[in-house]
């Protein structure tokens, strides 16, 4: 394990300017997205993490991760010592090698999104012990139309995310069949975040 020094620029730069207030603001925005699936929640208080971690993902990580949350990074992120150092300094969250051990997973390459069932699904008694995936995508607009229904949605919601792989729809359908078990997904893009709780049903088209 690499021990980062306090003066390592890759670790100490690019965090929240006002950690308490910024994290509170981002937390409210993420909670709003989760409460209203399909709604774009703008992340106004951004970080500047090392690439390929994006500012929106960095803000979510700096808000939701702490020393008690285990995180898994996709191979692209895992290869970056700068990313690992930044997360360690700004969140103190331990990085795990096994997907099943992760409370959160960060996916920088959405086209290489692992199978959703590879992550912890929780249990019937404790469904909240599943993994939440933060998936970086190119944009929350300009992609194929998807229709969402479920709790928190008044009738239907439409989203057009750009960058989800074609196989995601089949994986999401299987994820819903495992309810109350299953993973939750946050789609992170420059515009903000869209939450896809496991309770949401998704169909192609509008």
* pLDDT tens, position by position, 139-160: 999 999 999 999 999 999 999 9
- How does pLDDT run across 155-171, given as a tens digit for each residue? 999 999 999 999 999 99
User: What per-residue confidence (pLDDT) applies to 64?
Assistant: 98
User: What per-residue confidence (pLDDT) applies to 13?
Assistant: 80
Residues 6+ apart with CB under 8 A from 62: 15, 16, 19, 22, 23, 26, 47, 90, 91
- How does pLDDT run across 79-137, given as a tens digit for each residue? 999 999 999 999 999 999 999 999 999 999 999 999 999 999 999 999 999 999 999 99
pTM of the model: 0.93
Residue with tokens 């196989």, as numbered in its chain: 167
Could you give the domains of the chain?
Answer: 15-204 (3.40.50.11310)
User: What per-residue confidence (pLDDT) applies to 164?
Assistant: 96
Question: How many helices and strands (H and E) does the chain possess?
Answer: 6, 8
- How does pLDDT run across 7-19, given as a tens digit for each residue? 456 566 889 989 9
């Amino acid at each position: 394990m690499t021990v980062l020094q306090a003066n390592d620029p890759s670790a100490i730069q690019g965090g929240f300017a006002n950690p308490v207030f910024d994290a509170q603001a981002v937390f409210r925005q993420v909670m709003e997205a989760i409460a209203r699936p399909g709604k774009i929640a703008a992340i106004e208080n951004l970080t500047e993490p090392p690439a390929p971690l994006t500012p929106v993902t960095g803000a979510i990580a700096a808000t939701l991760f702490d020393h008690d949350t285990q995180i898994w990074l996709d191979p692209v992120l895992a290869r970056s010592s700068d990313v690992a150092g930044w997360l360690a300094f700004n969140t103190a969250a331990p990085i795990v090698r096994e997907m099943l051990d992760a409370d959160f997973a960060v996916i920088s390459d959405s086209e290489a999104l692992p199978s959703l069932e590879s992550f912890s699904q929780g249990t019937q008694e404790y469904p909240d012990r599943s993994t939440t995936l933060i998936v970086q995508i190119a944009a929350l607009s300009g992609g194929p139309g998807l229709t969402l229904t479920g709790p928190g949605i008044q009738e239907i919601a439409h989203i057009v995310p750009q960058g989800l792989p074609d196989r995601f729809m089949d994986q999401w359908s299987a994820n819903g069949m495992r309810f109350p078990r299953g993973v939750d997904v946050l789609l992170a893009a420059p515009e903000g975040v869209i939450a896809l709780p496991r309770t949401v049903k998704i169909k192609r088209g509008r």
